[in-house]
Structures are given as C-alpha cells and as structure tokens.
Chain A
Amino acid sequence: MDSNLVWFILINPLIAAVLVHACLRKLPGTCAAVSVLSSVLGLVAGIGVWFSFSQAIGHNPDHKFADEVPWLDFGTALRVPIGVVVDHLSAVMVLVVTGVGALIHIYSLIYMGTDSGKARFFGNLSLFMFSMLGIVLANNFAMMFIFWELVGLSSYLLIGHWFTRNTAADAANKAFITNRIGDFGFMLGILMVWAWAGSLVFADIEQAIPELNKNAGFLTGAVLLIFCGAVGKSAQLPLHVWLPDAMEGPTPVSALIHAATMVAAGVYMLARVFFLVALSPPAQGVIAWIGMLTALLAALMATQQDDIKRILAYSTLSQLGYMISAIGLAAPGAAMFHLFTHAFFKALLFLGAGAIIHHLHHEQDIWRMGGLKGSMKWTFRAFTAGYLAIIGFPFLSGFWSKDAILLAAWHGNKLLFLLALFTAFLTAYYMTRLWVVTFFGRPRSEAAEHGHDGPLMMTGPLVVLAVLSIISAWGTKPLFEHMIEGATWPAHSIVVPILATLAFAAGLVGGWILYIGKERDSILIPAFKNKFYFDELYAALIAGTQELLASLSSYIDKWVIDGVFVRGLSGAAWACGFVLRFFQFGNLQGYSFLFGAGVVALILYLLVT
C-alpha cells in the first residue's frame, strides 16, 4: 500500500487549484487543462489505490491503511493530526468522487467553454475536489470538520459562479448560511464526543468505546448534534431549503456537488462514525424519521415543479432522505450502496439536463421543451438509462440499492416502510412526468426545435455514466455488505422487491397516462408547488425574530439605558441639587441657626449613646 499514492490523491487537486488561482487566471484554456488533468490523474491514482488495497485485503482481511502527519499535539488532552485512512468505505468513496469528478471535468470543457469566468470555475472545481477528498480520507473529526467547511466554501464559490445575477448570489449565501447552522450543531457534537472519549481520532474513539461510560442521554445528544452536520450538508428537513436554490449554479456544479458528492458527504460521515450512532437507538430513530420525511416531502414537492433542474434537485433531496433513513435503520451498508449507485445516475441525469439546457439556449422550463427524443438521440438514450435506474426498474442499479433500503425499513419499522414505498411510487411518477414532458410530444417552443446532440466530450461522459448506471450494482453488493464493522445487512424477504416493483410500475403508468401529449400541467397543488411554504416560513421567522430583538434592544436602549441610567442619574443629581438649594438662605442668621441646630443635635446624639 503506497502511502505516497494516497497523499497524492489528496494533494494533487490542491496544487491544481493553487496554480490556477495564483498564476494562470489570464489563461483560461490552460487552467481548464490543468484542472482536467489533475482530476484524471486523481482517478488513475484512485484506481491504483483500490487495486493495491484489494490485494492487501486479500493477504490480510483485517488490513487497514492509515498514515498521518502530526499537526496539533497537546499531549493526552488533544491530538489533531493530518491523517488519511484507507478502508473499503473510503476507497469506494474515493473512486466515486474521482470518477464522477473526472467525467464532469471533461464535460465542463464544453459546457463552460465560452464562459468568461472559465479559469475561476476550474480553479474552484479543483478546490472542491481537494476538499471533498479531504473529507473522505480524513482520519479524525477535526480534519473532517475543516474540510467540511472547505467544501461549503467551494460550494458557495461555485453556486455563485455567476455572481452578477442576484438570484445566484443570494442562493450562494443561502447555501452557506444554512450549512453553517448545521455545522454549528456538528461542532458541538464533536466537542461532546471529545469530552466523552478524550480523542478526536476515529480509530482511537472506536477502540476506546468498550471502556467508556455509555451515558445514554449524553451520547444521544452528541449523536444528534453530529447528525445536525449531516442535516445541513445533506439538506435534510428542516435545513433542506438551500438545495433547490443551489441550482442557480452551472449544471456541472449541480451534477458534481449537489448530486453526487458533496451532499453525500453527510451520509458518508454518518457511515464513518456509525460506531457512535449504533450506541444510541433513540438518535437512530430520529435520524430514520427525519430522513424518511425528507424523502416523502421532497417527492411531493417534485411532482409540481416545472424547472428541469429543480425537479432533479428535489429528486436528490428525496434520495438523500432514503440514504439517511437507512443509516437510522442501522443499515449503513445499504445507505452507502444507494449513495454509490445514486452518484452515477444522478450525475447522469444532471449532465443530460445540462446538455438539453445548453443546446436549447438556456431554456429550463420543461413545458417549453418537448420532442427532443428525435433531435437529441444520444442524450435521450443516456437520460433514459438514468431515468430507469432512478425509478427502480428491475435489475438496474437503482433497483438493487433501493431494495436494500426498503428491506431495512421492512425489518425496522413498517410505517417507515410504507412511507418509503409511497415515496418510491412518487419518484417513478414525477420522473416519468419529467421524461415524458421533456422528450415526448412536439416541440413546445422555438428553442426546443433547435435541439441537437452535443460534441463527443459532452456526450461521452453521458454514455459512460449511462453504462455505469445500469451495471453499477452488479457484483458490487458484497462490497457493501461488509463495509461497516458492526452493522448487518438486512435479511432478504421476497415481499419487498415485489411491492417495490408494483410501486414503480404504478408510478410509471400514472405519470405516462397523465402527461403524454399534454401542452401544460393539468394538475395544480399549490402546497407542493410552493414547496410547502418553507422559505416563506423561514423568512417570516427570521424577520419576526429580528423585529423582536430590535424592538427589545430599542426598549432597553430607550428606557433602561437612557431612562434609568443616563437620565436617571442626571435627574437624581438635579433632584439633589433642587432639594439642597433651599438651604441657601443668603441670610447670615439662617446659617448660624443651622450651625447651632447641628451642634445641638450632635451633642444630643453623644449624650444619648
């Protein structure tokens, strides 16, 4: 196991990012080349690492590779190294990130070919790769948290790539701020774990668990706070509001970050620290329910959206909900399996949508598309492959991974299973709606008549991803079954695949019948269309809190600080003066009288005491 290779995977995109941002900004073509080259090299290195790791596992099943560079060392109190760990979990994740990343880099060469900020884009893309690989390879909480924040920064930079557009700038802010809210909880959780276990390094914590006091309340709190980080990064309820707006970024960004990799970081993180999650059944319950509710509500909202990227964004939210609830149902292997297959078909769907948008001159409303089946043949074929995968067409990749999650729900909580099943039905329904309206019928706008397939560098990645979407589950299941120590794969039951297939078929048929040949949407459900009014609720909440705080401050300033302290003090001084004024008689004998009275009183006092 060559440690240099692992460090190369991590550092190589950083070098590319630094080169681009520091030196090459004036040469966009060179920047693009540097970035693409670094991503391809990363992929090659990732494959190399995978093979040498598999070989090492073959010799010794308990092999785990870890290497670290000491960074902060405060003795036994705190130790934060910069370290990498390679096991099945991170090796697979590295492949996913570098693989999908390389394909999207190549795709972006065409998509962002004429963009004025091309150099900046590729620099930020490389920065993102560095940050994501940092999360994947991190061996301790602190390092993971640093890269977590870096990923958030990259996301901000990339969503706001066209920052001159107000909507894009606002969306970037929204993403970053919502993430920060989750990260605050994450940090508190990390601190709690540190207090409990005495170390931030995953291996040390895992080893120390048998001896530590498993105080249920404290642990549940810590796990739930760590889960907050996942809620923010993976856009679960209630912090889901940033993901649909993040579609303001260029489509390759949406594909890479907001479909395949960054949003999956939350799932990855929970899988990485599953040994902590496993200690707290109440936290697992919360996680499972939040995941499933997100899946359900996102699917409902997706049925009424008209922007192709938004539908796909809600679809991502829904699938992420599945993954998170799988973690909550103590099936992290299933969650990672779905993450793996989802990365491919979701990236494919987004890149396909990007190809459509690009060739229709940035038209994104599906009701102004149509008839593209004939004019964009390869795009249509690739897109269909991804579509079939996501709805769970039997024996494609999505079918197997969704099946694993449904099995976990079936054995865990029948109510959750019903919700999951209903969500699968909705997934099939709205994806069919998207597919039918976009590709079938006749072109509904001028732009739609100009659709044509892109060049090889754009269509090539689509085809590669299509193939992967179909085959990625064949033969890879055993990998995930034993990926996480201490977690078991849900037992098989024939009922589940049958029900799942029924749901998929019902959704497909329903979507087909309702939308084939239509010119506009006949169903209108305002609650779904308006995203359950979450954004309005948050805006009102923030505005309300702001109002409250502002009026409270104003009250305190006016009455307490100004009234009591400032005017009160001055008023007291004035009142004293006013009272004491009356002793200034001006009259000599008045004063003498007071002298005498004073002396008499004093002597009286001395006499008495």
Chain B
Amino acid sequence: MNITLNHYLAVSGLLFTIGFAGVLLRRNIIIIFMCLELMLNAANLSLVAFSRYNVGADGLPNYNAQVLVFFIITVAAAEVAVGLAIIVALFRARATTHVEDIATLKF
C-alpha cells in the first residue's frame, strides 16, 4: 500500500504522545528532559513530511520547512546544553534529581 502523508503524521503524532506521557509520568528530571527531546523530534518529522509533500512549481520539495528543521535542531542543542547546566547546578544544591523534591515553589 502507498505510504501517504498521513502515515508520517501518525508516526509523528504517536511519538509526540509517547514523549508527552513520559514528561507526565517519569520522576527523574533527566528522563523528563530526554522526553522533551522526543517531542521536538516528532515535530521535526512532521515538518520534513510536509516539506516533501509540498512540491513547488519547479518540482522540488519546499525547502523552507527543512531550514526550519535545521533551526530547531540547533536551538534544541543549545537548549539541552543550558538545561543540563541548570540541572547540574540544581543537583549540586539539592543532591537529588527527583522532581518531587524540587516542588517548593507552591502557594
């Protein structure tokens, strides 16, 4: 059977759901961070699928989406760096990576 755009979008969506479930269900902050990366990549996949689908007048895919993917990857890398630095600092302060131990900013 033909692989259509919807297939890719379904994969992307499922991957996103898995990542989101991970954010909600895991207790370790590093794991949560990794699930965030999963969600970002799901979005990337969706973008590339659309890029391939939207063929322009010259018969080539619309590369703007792929440029966006490029940017997302870059920014995600920067984000991971800074986020992990923060987690390290947090670990130094609290000696824990368990997310429930850091919930002091309540009313």
Contact = CB atoms under 8 A, between A and B. Distances in A.
A588 B32 contact: yes
Interface in B60-107: 99-100, 102-107
A587 B104 CA distance: 8
Contacts of B23: 589, 592
Interface residues of B, number: 14
B24 interface: yes
A312 B93 CA distance: 103
B20 A586 contact: no
Contacts of A581: 107
A587 to B, nearest CB: 4
Interface string B13-48: 000000010011100010010000000000000000
Contact of A592 (B24, B103, B105): B24
Given A592-B24, A593-B24, A596-B20, A584 B107 contact: yes
Nearest to A585: B106
A74 interface: no
Interface class of chain A by DSSP:
helix
Given A581-B107, A582-B107, A587 B99 contact: yes
Nearest to B29: A588
B102 A588 contact: yes
A592 B39 CA distance: 13
A588 B105 CA distance: 10
A607 B61 CA distance: 29
Interface of B: 20, 23-25, 29, 32, 99-100, 102-107
Contacts of B100: 587
A586 B24 contact: no
B107 A588 contact: no
Top 10 closest A-B pairs, CB basis?
Answer: A586-B106, A586-B103, A581-B107, A587-B103, A584-B107, A586-B105, A592-B23, A588-B99, A584-B106, A592-B24
Nearest to A599: B20
A586 B107 CA distance: 8
Contacts of A582: 107
Contacts of A584: 105-107
Given A587-B99, A587-B100, A592-B23, 5 more contacts: A581-B107, A584-B106, A584-B107, A588-B99, A589-B23
B29 to A, nearest CB: 8
23 contacts: A584-B105, A584-B106, A584-B107, A585-B103, A586-B103, A586-B105, A586-B106, A586-B107, A587-B99, A587-B100, A587-B103, A588-B32, A588-B99, A588-B102, A589-B23, A589-B24, A589-B25, A589-B32, A592-B20, A592-B23, A592-B24, A593-B24, A596-B24
Nearest to A592: B23
Interface class of chain B by DSSP:
helix
Contacts of A589: 23-25, 32, 99
B22 to A, nearest CB: 10
Nearest to B25: A589
Contacts of A586: 103-107
Q: How large is the interface on A (under 10, 10 to 19, 20 to 34, 35 or more residues)?
A: 10 to 19
A200 B107 CA distance: 75
Contacts of B106: 584-587
A584 B103 CA distance: 10
A122 to B, nearest CB: 83
A592 B99 CA distance: 12
Contacts of B102: 588
A581 B107 CA distance: 6
Interface in A575-609: 581-582, 584-589, 592-593, 596
B11 to A, nearest CB: 18
A584 B107 CA distance: 6
Nearest to A581: B107
Nearest to B23: A592
Contacts of B105: 584, 586
B21 to A, nearest CB: 9
Contacts of B104: 586
A587 B103 CA distance: 5
A105 to B, nearest CB: 88
Q: Which of B23, B25, B99, B104 has the most CB of A within 10 A?
A: B23
Q: Which of A582, A589, A593 has the most CB of B within 10 A?
A: A589
Contacts of A585: 103, 106
Contacts of A587: 99-100, 103, 106
Contacts of B25: 589
Nearest to B20: A596
Nearest to A588: B99
A588 B103 contact: yes
Contacts of A596: 20, 24
Q: Which of A587, A588, A593, A596 has the most CB of B within 10 A?
A: A588
Interface string A161-203: 0000000000000000000000000000000000000000000
Nearest to A596: B20
A577 to B, nearest CB: 10
Nearest to A584: B107
B32 to A, nearest CB: 7
Nearest to B26: A589
Contacts of B20: 592, 596
Interface string A398-420: 00000000000000000000000
A589 B105 CA distance: 13
